[in-house]
Amino acid sequence: MQDCKVNILGTEWSIKFGGEEEYPASNGIDGYADSSTKEIVVDNMEKSKGQADAKGNLERYQKEVLRHELVHAFMTESGLEHNFEHKPIGIEETMVDWIAIQSPKMFKVFQELDIL
Ligand SMILES: [Zn+2]
């Protein structure tokens, strides 16, 4: 995937792909959404390729990570960024990951039913 820009609820966000060298804040994580710069960074997975403990389908996983970070961006732009903090468990991360994983399946069904 290549760097690009998307419109999230009226605000332009940049999507960038790279490693820790280019984006030091990505150290140890696969992606992040920075609400202060309106920037999403997703690991290019170069270091994972060929590693024994790497995911089997890195391209598919990279898309999942991007969907996850885009959900954060949508939450940020809709005013929900901090509304789930200070809970005893990771409620926001649980919900974000659920949407990132399930939304393609939901959209497929919605398209089949022509309810989008
Ligand atoms: Zn997250």
Q: Which sequence spans correspond to the domains of the chain?
A: 4-113
Query: What's the pLDDT tens digit per position in 65-92?
Result: 999 999 889 888 887 777 665 665 556 7
Q: What angle do CA 53, 69, 26 make, to 5 degrees?
A: 55
Query: What's the pLDDT tens digit per position in 15-67?
Result: 999 999 999 999 889 999 999 999 999 999 888 888 888 888 999 999 999 99
Q: Give first-to-last CA distance, the chain, whole Å.
A: 26
Is residue 14 pLDDT above 80, yes or no? yes
Å from CA of 80 to ligand 1 middle: 13
pLDDT at 83: 65
What's the token pair of residue 18?
């790279």
Question: 84: left (phi > 0), else alpha (psi -120 to 50), else beta?
Answer: alpha
Å from CA of 109 to ligand 1 middle: 25
Å from CA of 60 to ligand 1 middle: 17
The arithmetic mean of pLDDT across residues 85-110, rounded, is: 78
pLDDT at 84: 61
What's the token pair of residue 40?
């999403």
Å from CA of 69 to ligand 1 middle: 6
CA dihedral 98, 100, 104, 109 (to 10 degrees): 30
Q: Hey, CA dihedral for 105, 107, 111, 113, is it positive or negative? A: positive
pTM of the model: 0.80
- Amino acid symbol at 2: Q
